Amino acid sequence: MSKIIPVVMAGGTGSRLWPLSRESFPKQFLSIDDSGFSLLQQTLRRLSGLAGVEIAAPLVICNENHRFLVAEQLREIGQLATNIILEPVGRNTAPAVALAAHLAAEQDPDSILLVLAADHLVKKVENFHSAIETALPFAKRNHLVTFGIIPEHPETGYGYIKRGNLLSDACFKVDCFVEKPGLEKAREYLASGEYSWNSGMFMFKAAKFLQELKAFSPKIFINTRESIADSKRDMNFIRVEKAAFEHCPSDSIDYAVMEKTSDAVVIPIDAGWSDVGSWSSLWDVSEKDSLGNVNSGEIIAINSHNNYISSDSALVATIGLDNMVVINTNDALLIASKGQVQHVKKVVDELKRRNLHHYRQHSSSYRPWGKICEVDSGEHYQVKKIIVHPGEGLSLQRHFHRAEHWIVVSGTAKVNLDDKEFLLSENQSTFIPAGCVHTLENPGCIDLEMIEVRSGFYLEEDDIERLHDRYGRV
C-alpha cells in the first residue's frame, strides 16, 4: 500500500474574512460551515477513505504565534504528534515545503508528499480522492504533480495553468503557468478549455522536489537543509534554526520549481474547490435557502435575497435586504455589499492605523493549556471564562496591578497560592490578591471550566510575571 505524507501550509494571516478572521485567529482555524470542523481540520479529515493509500501523520507548517492553536485543533481530531513545523519568519511556500521535504527525505527519500493549503474548501471529496489516486503513479515516476481546478467562470483572482500534451489518465504535461489575468484574457482562457485555475496543491517525491529545488533554487535548498539539520524538538513542535531560514528567498513553489522543471504535470479536477478568498466567494460555494440566503446563527430574514448573514452572538433580523454580507461577532459588525467585499482589507488597515484590537484578536483566544474567553468588561474590571484541559495548567505567575477571583463552574482545580495548595470543585471559589504568586492546574479527567473576575486599575495581558512555565513561554 502506498504511503502519503500530507504537508499542510497553515501560516497565513489573511484578513479578507474579517471580522471572523483575525490576525491571531485567521481563516484556516475557522469553522465556516455546519460541519463543526475548521478548514484546517477539514483539510486533514477529507483525506480519509482514499482507496489503496495509507495516509501518514501530517506535517503542519505554521508560525510561532499560532502554534498552540494548531496543536489544539490537531489534538481535537487525533492528529497531534511531534508534527508541527514552526517557521521563524514567513518566506512563502517554497522554503516552507522544503523544510517538510528535508524531514521526510531523512526517513525515506521516496516518500510521497501531498502539499495542501489549510484554508481551502473542497466540496466534491470523491473527485478529490480520484485525482489523488490518479496522481500517485505519476509522482512515483518522478513527476511533480499539480492539481488544476476546472474553471467555472472567467476568474481574475487566480493564477492559471495551461495544459500541454496528454500523458494518460487525465494527466497532462504543464505547458506554462500564467499570472492572474485581466477579465478579457480570463474569458479567452475559459473559452479555450486549455486552462485550469492554479489550486496550489501538489504531489511529488520528497527527494525529487529537493533535487529540482537544488537545481533551480539552490539558496533555498541549502538554507532549509541547514535549518532542519539544526532544528530542535519542543513538545509537539519542530523549531527550525532561524538564521539559516531567514536567508531563504521568499519564493513560491511555482516560481522556485514548478515553472522551471521539465517534469511538471497537471491533473484537472472538478472538486467544488474554493480558496474562500472573500465573503462573496464563500456565498458562492455555500448551501442556500429558497431565497438564496446563506444563514449562520440565529437569523430572521424577511423579504431578503441572496445574502450571506452570520451571527455568533445575537439574533440578527433583516427586512428587504438583497445581495449583502452581514457578519456579527460579539465585538464587531460588518455590513457590506457582496460586490464590495474586496474592500474588507481597507477596514482592517484602518483598524491597524487606529491601533484597535479588532484586527488582531477575538474575544476568545487559545493557550497551550486551553482557552480563555471574554464575557464582559468595564472600567476597572474584566470577566473571563477559562477552560483548562485535563493534565494542563497555567504558569506560576503573579500580577502587580490586578486581583483575581476564580469561581469553578465544572471540573476540579488544584490551586497553589503563596505556597499553599488546595482543591476547588464546582461552585467553590478563591481570591488572588495582587502580588501573590499563584498557579492552577486541572488534575481531573474532564475540562475545568471557571469564571475569572479581574479587578484593578490596569488589566492588560502584559501585567504578568511568569516565574515558571511548563510550555517554555517567557
Predicted confidence (pLDDT) at residue 1 exceeds the cutoff of 60: no
Q: Locate 297 and state its grid cell.
A: 446563527
E strand or H helix at 333: strand 333-337
Residue 447 has a pLDDT of 96
Average pLDDT (271-281) is 91
- Please report the pLDDT score of residue 331 as a whole number: 87
> What is the tens place of the pLDDT at every residue in 439-467?
999 999 999 999 999 999 999 888 999 99
Q: Three-state SS string across 276-326, please?
A: CCCHHHHHHHCCCCCCCCEEECCEEEECCECCEEEECCCCEEEECCECEEE
Query: Tell me: the pLDDT tens digits for 366-376?
Result: 888 998 988 98
At 367, the amino acid letter reads R
Q: Which domains does the chain have, with CATH numbers?
A: 2-274 (3.90.550.10), 279-353 (no CATH), 364-468 (2.60.120.10)
pLDDT digits (tens, 9 = 90+) for 37-50: 999 999 999 999 88
Compute the average pLDDT of residues 235-250: 95
Average the pLDDT over 285-310 and give the result: 95
Nearest to 121 by CA among 309, 334, 284, 362: 284
Q: 10 Å Cβ neighbour count for 322?
A: 15
Residue 364 β-bridge partners? 373
Q: Is the pTM of this model over 0.75?
A: yes
Matching residue, cell 532549509: 224
Which pLDDT belongs to residue 106? Answer: 93
pLDDT tens column, 163-221: 999 998 789 999 999 999 999 999 999 999 999 999 999 999 999 999 999 999 999 99
Alpha carbon dihedral 7, 157, 182, 335, in 10-degree steps, equals -170
How many whole angstroms separate alpha carbon 335 and alpha carbon 304? 14
Single-letter amino acid code for the residue at 380: H
What grid cell was written down for 312? 455568533
Q: Which of 11, 207, 177, 13 is nearest to 96 (CA)?
A: 11
Q: Please, is 194 exposed, middle or buried when counting C-beta atoms within 10 Å of its C-beta (0-12, 13-18, 19+)?
A: middle
Per DSSP bridges, beta strands 465-468 and 396-398 are antiparallel
Q: Check residue 330 and give its pLDDT.
A: 84
pLDDT, tens only, 303-326:
999 999 999 889 999 999 999 999
Average pLDDT score over the chain = 93
pLDDT number for residue 76: 92
- Cis peptide bond prior to 26, omega within 30° of 0: no
pLDDT band, residue 337 (cuts 50/70/90): very high
